[in-house]
Amino acid sequence: MVLDNILHRGVGMTSQRARDRLVVRLREKGIRHPAVLKAIARTPRHLFVDEALSHRAYEDNALPIGNGQTISQPYIVARMTEAILEDGIPDRVLEVGTGSGYQATILSHIVPAVFSVERIRELLVQAKKRFRELKISNIMAKHSDGTMGWPQTEPYNAIIITAAPEMIPDSLLEQLSIGGRMIVPVGQDRSMQKLQSILRTEDSYESQVLETVSFVPFRSGKA
Ligand code: SAH
């Protein structure tokens, strides 16, 4: 019980109070959706970063997770999650870029089924371990190049891409259901990427820019 408290509720810088303060900051930055704020409040982000960085887990910043990758800034995770909830709760969500598993965990508290792919094996293995430890059973995660999406379980009502492609791969757009939404940072230059929200209609795709963002690059091939 004591160990469980330390692990999941945390002490001091990793406590429930630290998470609640983060929620207050996100609200101030404009995040409104109650389910998103609730998911952030209950998810122990300090378990998704290296122990040496856990005291910084509830700052609203991206942090390194190894292999040259980062866990996204909480505000961006919240913004992207809120953006796919615009038309209601999607049944099935595909995430490309599992990374630490934090974004997938936030999604798992809101939507029925999360599918997540990661090209770096080491990160995927660690993320799956976290899902097990947190007893999350509605995330299906696999080691794979997300350029091709996850064709066996398509279509998805929403797709979240957490690394920035120069151009969105067609196969990903094709795995979106009609009426579904994709949230994706697009652009090569890290300081000039645009976070786009793309709605699939009966016969086309409608895109809207949400804001300027800075994501790690989308890369093809497995590592
Ligand atoms: N959603 C993650 C953010 C991780 S950073 C989190 O919450 O922690 C983005 C991740 O995308 C990196 O781990 C990177 O390896 C992965 N990535 C980049 N290109 C990819 C691709 N083509 N297929 C799958 N994963 C990819």
pLDDT of 74 above 90 = yes
Each domain of the chain, given as residue ranges in start order, spans 65-213
Give me the pLDDT at residue 208, please: 97
Question: Alpha-carbon Rg of the chain, whole angstroms?
Answer: 16
Instruction: Show which residues are catalytic.
Output: 72
pLDDT of 3 above 70 = no
pLDDT tens-digit profile of 53-73? 999 999 999 999 999 999 999
DSSP 8-class letter at 217: B
Distance CA 104, CA 138 (A): 10
Q: Which CATH class is domain 65-213?
A: alpha beta
Ligand 1 mutation pick, 122, 125, 216, 222, max ligand atoms within 8 A of CB: 216
Whose CA is closest to atom 21 on ligand 1?
146
What is the pLDDT averaged over residues 18-36? 98
Give me the pLDDT at residue 8, please: 65
DSSP characters over 138-188: SEEEEE--GGG--GGG--EEEEEE-SB-SS--HHHHHTEEEEEEEEEEE-S
Distance CA 38, CA 187 (A): 31
C-alpha 99 to ligand 1 mean position (Å): 5
Distance CA 139, CA 22 (A): 24
pLDDT tens-digit profile of 148-175? 999 999 999 999 999 999 999 999 999 9
- Residue 94: which H helix or E strand, with range? strand 92-96
Give me the pLDDT at residue 61, please: 97
Torsion over CA of 188, 180, 104 and 128, rounded to 10 degrees?
A: -100
What is the pLDDT averaged over residues 195-202? 98
Give me the pLDDT at residue 156, please: 98
Give me the pLDDT at residue 191, please: 85
How much of the chain exceeds pLDDT 90, in percent?
Answer: 91
Average pLDDT value over all residues in the chain: 95
Distance CA 206, CA 184 (A): 13
